[in-house]
């Protein structure tokens, strides 16, 4: 059992049946007097069931071929022509900007 566990934090584990017997008993006692946790457990259980039904599908071969073909026609962006200041130089530039803007 998780020592000092707040039953509010165990609703997710309860919904997917991931608690030991003592924790499960503690959460069930809490659910008898906390309608918001009952609703949360109901929603989490439904979400877990939907996730359990989800299935990944591989992309169609034609789509993969099209993506790989297009990659060869996309040019990489050129690096900036002037390196960006770093460290103290960048901080000095940022600090000076407001004074310059006011002038």
Q: Tell me, yes or no, whether 74 lies in a domain.
A: no
Can you give the residue range of the structural domain that contains 14? 7-53
Q: What is the pLDDT of residue 81?
A: 77
Q: Tell me, yes or no, whether 76 lies in a domain.
A: no
CA distance 30 to 40: 13
**Radius of gyration over alpha carbons of the chain, in Å?**
28
Q: Tell me, yes or no, whether 46 lies in a domain.
A: yes
The number of C-alpha atoms within 13 Å of 65 and in the hemisphere containing its C-beta is 3
Domains held by the chain: number: 1
Q: Tell me, yes or no, whether 99 lies in a domain.
A: no
Q: Tell me, yes or no, whether 70 lies in a domain.
A: no
pTM beyond 0.85? no
pLDDT in tens, the chain (103 residues): 556 789 999 999 999 999 999 999 999 999 999 999 999 999 999 999 999 888 888 888 999 899 999 988 888 787 777 766 666 555 555 555 555 555 5
Helix, strand, coil share (%) of the chain residues, nearest 5: 65, 0, 35
């Amino acid at each position: 059992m998780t020592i000092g566990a707040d039953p509010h934090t165990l609703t997710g584990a309860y919904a997917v049946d991931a608690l030991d017997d003592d924790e499960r008993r503690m959460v069930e006692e809490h659910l008898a007097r906390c309608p918001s946790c009952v609703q949360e457990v109901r929603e989490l259980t439904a979400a877990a069931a939907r996730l359990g039904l989800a299935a990944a599908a591989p992309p169609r071969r034609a789509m993969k071929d099209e993506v790989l073909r297009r990659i060869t026609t996309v040019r990489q962006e050129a690096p900036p022509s002037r390196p960006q200041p770093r460290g103290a130089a960048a901080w000095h530039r940022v600090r000076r900007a407001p004074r310059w803007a006011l002038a």
